[in-house]
Structure formats: structure tokens, C-alpha cells
């Protein structure tokens, strides 16, 4: 609860600071606010407090809150010169991102489905505006409109689902829904099943899983890169936490029923994400499709529900978040310098910018899942989880997809180190370096010694 309050107050303070044109104070203020919120997550650790029956700050919620807050802080550090160059209303960007974060904290800690809906909407509405924040830019407008229409559409599915489940169980509360399923295994109301499916569709839209992924590439490509970073990392993590809280928690007794459509979604997501990413010439679009494929790997955790499902998602989502932040940060730098986000603009980057290129290489290795990076541990946990029920074919399918992944992630590495290019020297601000180094450090530490977050939840 303290976390949400802190973040919201920070958001308002930032708004007022903007009103008084204190642009220099925005970033320090935000970072202090976020660090305070992070402090509260540590403070509340092991507390398992329930707030008014609506939210439960168990360790699962706190761990994901922490990942979201750290991710958002890093993204804020990347804002230097980014928004400033583009608009006067910087405070509004900050505020919207903060509100969106507050929504996400609700999404990872809800105990009541009404809270899920409220959190999701607070997050999404902020994002609709952020996607279209470049008022004069055609692509940005298109992204915003597409995102809004698709988002509203998917929220519809989610609400229908919630309604049907309420109709069947008479409650929004996750524990009561689970208790209903456990106590009436034979006489579950027939409207409960479509409710589950509708909610699955709604959440699949939000996390960008196929076949509900069509909005992702266009929105990711059209939005300002920094907002894309935010959407494809932190927002996605929160979406998965919400997914997991519902399906691994309340709906767990019905696992046999919903696992079949889930496997279909997983296979489609992996296949479409990877194969389409292979053909992209644009780095940003490639990342968008690769984010779809990562959604597929993340959903692996739900195919077999075990005590490790939650920590697997935590590891995978952190690995993916920090690697993607590196990728997007470098993309922003390259685009500022060359004006293009095609693979060709990365040619020869390693010669003049060894640090940046090295960081991006680590990020790509992590996304591809090479040992000693966090991405490998994430993939390993997912495969381990599914092998637990000997779904060997599914793992073999995922491995083939991972192979395709190697190919397109290495395209960037090949361009940076092995190809000759214009040898541009990037202007890398100190804050970017800080973000890159922190993210690389997290990626490698999690890869070498994942025990530090494995038994958190």
C-alpha cells in the first residue's frame, strides 16, 4: 500500500514541479520517489499483508513490484535529452509513466478481480497517451490509436470474463473463487468455463501473445523508443505477474481445462514471434517480434504448475527486462546519431564504441539464452518446468525456436563486430553508461549466481 501511495505522491509532486518549470528537479525527484518505493518493498518483505481484502502484498507481489520499480528507474535515467529535445511538457511524461507504474503495482498485487481491472486500466490509459505523445508524428498517432482500440477491445474480453466468473461464484475475490473450485469440483457452473477463456484472451492481448499479438509490432515501432522500452519490458513483466496470479492461483484447480488452449497459444506465440523476427530488417521491429516470442517462453511457466513456476517467471522476466533495456538504450543512441534503426546502422559499431557494443552483445547473448547470462537461467527454468511432466515434444519445439532466435539476435552482433561500417562515434551520456553497466551487471550476476533470487518467492 505504501508503495502505491509513494509512487502516486511522487507523480503529483512531479506534476507540480513541472507547473513551476523546475525541469532540473524532475529526474532527482522521481528517482528519490522510486527509491523510497523500492525501500518500502524491502520493508514489507515477508509481511504478507492484506489491504482491505483488495490487495495482498505477498512476496510474489513485492518481488515483481521491485523488478518493475528498478526497471522504471533505469528507464527514467535514459530520459536525459530524450524528452527534453522533443517537447516542453516533460513533467507530463514523468507523471504518466509514474501513474502507469502505480497501476502495475496493483496488477502484481491484486487479490480481487476488480483491483486487477482498475490497475490494468490505470496502466493502460497512461500508456495510450504515452504512445501518442508525439502529437505531430504520424507513426506515433497511429500507434496510439491502434493501441487504444486493441486495448479497449481486450479490456472488453477481460470484463466479460470477470462478469461470468462473478456470475458463477458470486465473488471477485481470488481466494473465494479458488475455494469455490476446490469445494465443488463436480458442479462448477457452466458459465465459469467461458469466463476463464475470455480472461485468458484478454490477458493474452495485454501481454502480446499470439494470435492476439497483431498490435504489438506497429505500436512498438510507432511509439517513441523510450516508451517502447517501457511497454516491452516493465509493462510486460507486470502483465505476466497478473496472468500468473490469476491462473497459477485462483484458476489452478481447473488447470486441466485451460492448459489445452494455453499450449496452443504458447506454440503459436513462439512460432510466429521467432519466424517473423527472423525476417525483420529493422532492429526495433525485430525486438518487437522477439518480445512476442519471449511471451511464449514466459507462458511455459503456466503449462506445468509447480512450486517453481513463480520464481521461474521472476527470473525470466528480470532477465528479459534488463537485457531489453540495454538493447533499447543502445538503439536510442544509435538512432540519435544515424537517424535509422535498421541493422545496417549498427555496422562497425564495435570499433569506435567498444563499451556500448559489448553491453549490447551481452544483452543479445542473454536474450538468445547463452549460459552465464540471466537469459539462459530463465530459459533453463522454463524448460525444466515443462520437462517435469515430460512434455518432451513441446520442449523440442521450444528448442528449435530458440535456435531461430540465435540467428536473429546474432545478426546485431555480426553487424557490430564483424562488418565494416561508417564508424560513427556515439555520444553516450554518463547516465546511459550507468544504465548499461547496471543492467549488464544484473544480467551477468543472475546468470552466474541465480540463487540470489531463486528462492525469493
Partner 1 sequence: MEQLLLLIFLPLIGAIITAFTGKSAKIISTVFAVASLGLALVIAFTFIPDASTQFEANLPWIADLGIRFHAGIDGISLLVVLLTNLLVPIIILSSYNHEYKNPAAFYALILFMQSGLLLVFTAMDAFLFYIGWEAALIPIYFICAVWGGKDRIRINMKFFVYTIAGSLFMLMGIIYLYLQNTAHNFDLQTLYSLNLNPTQQGWIFWAFFIAFAIKMPIFPFHTWQPDTYTSAPTPGTMLLSGIMLKMGIYGLIRWLLPIVPQGVQEWGNLVIILSIIGIVYASLIAFTQKDAKRLVAYSSIAHVGLISAGIFALNQQGMQGAMVQMLSHGINVVGLFYVLDIIFSRVKTNKIEELGGIAKTAPQLAIVFLIIVLGTVALPGTNGFIGEFLLLLGVYNYSIWAAAVAGLTIIFGAVYMLRMYQNVMLGQTNSLTITFTDIKGTEKLVLYTICVLIIVLGVYPKPLLHLTEASVQHLLEQVNQKLKQ
Sites of contact with partner 1 (CB under 8 A): 365, 370-372, 380, 383-384, 387-388, 390, 392, 395-396, 399, 402-403, 406-407, 410, 414, 417-419, 449-451, 454-455
CB of 417 to partner 1, least distance (A): 6
Give the chain's end-to-end CA distance (angstroms, integer): 19
Please, which residue, 167 or 371, has the CB nearer to partner 1? 371
Please, which residue, 56 or 401, has the CB nearer to partner 1? 401
CB of 401 to partner 1, least distance (A): 10
Cell of 445: 550476476
Rounded to whole angstroms, the Cα distance separating 359 from 426 reads: 14
**Torsion sign across C-alpha atoms 259, 109, 95, 316:** negative
CB of 142 to partner 1, least distance (A): 35
Please, which residue, 153 or 418, has the CB nearer to partner 1? 418
CB of 9 to partner 1, least distance (A): 37
Rounded to whole angstroms, the Cα distance separating 349 from 189 reads: 60
Question: Is residue 97 helix, strand or coil?
Answer: helix
By C-alpha distance, which of 376, 375, 381, 366 is closest to 310? 381
Question: Is residue 427 helix, strand or coil?
Answer: coil
Rounded to whole angstroms, the Cα distance separating 312 from 298 reads: 8
CB of 265 to partner 1, least distance (A): 22
HSE-CB at 274 with a 13 A cutoff on CA atoms is: 22
Please, which residue, 179 or 456, has the CB nearer to partner 1? 456
Please, which residue, 50 or 403, has the CB nearer to partner 1? 403
CB of 135 to partner 1, least distance (A): 42
440, 363 Cβ separation under 8 angstroms? yes
286, 222 Cβ separation under 8 angstroms? no
Please, which residue, 252 or 372, has the CB nearer to partner 1? 372
Cell of 285: 521491429
Amino acid at each position: 500500500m505504501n508503495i502505491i501511495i509513494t509512487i502516486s505522491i511522487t507523480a503529483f509532486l512531479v506534476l507540480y514541479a513541472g507547473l513551476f518549470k523546475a525541469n532540473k528537479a524532475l529526474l532527482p525527484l522521481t528517482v528519490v520517489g522510486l527509491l523510497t518505493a523500492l525501500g518500502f518493498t524491502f520493508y514489507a518483505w515477508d509481511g504478507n499483508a492484506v489491504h482491505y481484502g483488495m490487495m495482498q502484498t505477498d512476496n510474489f507481489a513485492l518481488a515483481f513490484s521491485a523488478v518493475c520499480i528498478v526497471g522504471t528507474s533505469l528507464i527514467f535515467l535514459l530520459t536525459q535529452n530524450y524528452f527534453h529535445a522533443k517537447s516542453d511538457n516533460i513533467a507530463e511524461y514523468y507523471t504518466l509513466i509514474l501513474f502507469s507504474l502505480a497501476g502495475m503495482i496493483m496488477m502484481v498485487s491484486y487479490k480481487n478481480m476488480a483491483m486487477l481491472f482498475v490497475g490494468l486500466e490505470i496502466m493502460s490509459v497512461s500508456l495510450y497517451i504515452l504512445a501518442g505523445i508525439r502529437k505531430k508524428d504520424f507513426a506515433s498517432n497511429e500507434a496510439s490509436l491502434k493501441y487504444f482500440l486493441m486495448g479497449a477491445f481486450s479490456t472488453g474480453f477481460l470484463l466479460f470474463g470477470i462478469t461470468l466468473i462473478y456470475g458463477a461464484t458470486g465473488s471477485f475475490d481470488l481466494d473465494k473463487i479458488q475455494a469455490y473450485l476446490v469445494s465443488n469440483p463436480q458442479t462448477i457452473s457452466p458459465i465459469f468455463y467461458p469466463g476463464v477463456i475470455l480472461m485468458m484472451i484478454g490477458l493474452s492481448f495485454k501481454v502480446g501473445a499470439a494470435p492476439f499479438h497483431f498490435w504489438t509490432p506497429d505500436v512498438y515501432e510507432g511509439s517513441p523508443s523510450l516508451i517502447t522500452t517501457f511497454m516491452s519490458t516493465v509493462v510486460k513483466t507486470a502483465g505476466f505477474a497478473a496472468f500468473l496470479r490469476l491462473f497459477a492461483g485462483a484458476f489452478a484447480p481447473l488447470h486441466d481445462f485451460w492448459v489445452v488452449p494455453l499450449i496452443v497459444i504458447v506454440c503459436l506465440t513462439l512460432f510466429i514471434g521467432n519466424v517473423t523476427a527472423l525476417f525483420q530488417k529493422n532492429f526495433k521491429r525485430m525486438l518487437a517480434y522477439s518480445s512476442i516470442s519471449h511471451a511464449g517462453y514466459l507462458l511455459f511457466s503456466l503449462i506445468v504448475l509447480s512450486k517453481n513456476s513463480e520464481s521461474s517467471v521472476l527470473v525470466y522476466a528480470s532477465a528479459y527486462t534488463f537485457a531489453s533495456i540495454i538493447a533499447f538504450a543502445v538503439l536510442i543512441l544509435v538512432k540519435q546519431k544515424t537517424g535509422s534503426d535498421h541493422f545496417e546502422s549498427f555496422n562497425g559499431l564495435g570499433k569506435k564504441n567498444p563499451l556500448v557494443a559489448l553491453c549490447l552483445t551481452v544483452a543479445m547473448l542473454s536474450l538468445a539464452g547463452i549460459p552465464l547470462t540471466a537469459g539462459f537461467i530463465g530459459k533453463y527454468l522454463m524448460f525444466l518446468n515443462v520437462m517435469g511432466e515430460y512434455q518432451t515434444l513441446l520442449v523440442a519445439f521450444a528448442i528449435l525456436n530458440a535456435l531461430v532466435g540465435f540467428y536473429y539476435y546474432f545478426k546485431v552482433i555480426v553487424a557490430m563486430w564483424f562488418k565494416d561500417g561508417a564508424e560513427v562515434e556515439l555520444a553516450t551520456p554518463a547516465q546511459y553508461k550507468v544504465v548499461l553497466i547496471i543492467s549488464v551487471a544484473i544480467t551477468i550476476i543472475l546468470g552466474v549466481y541465480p540463487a540470489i533470487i531463486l528462492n525469493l518467492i
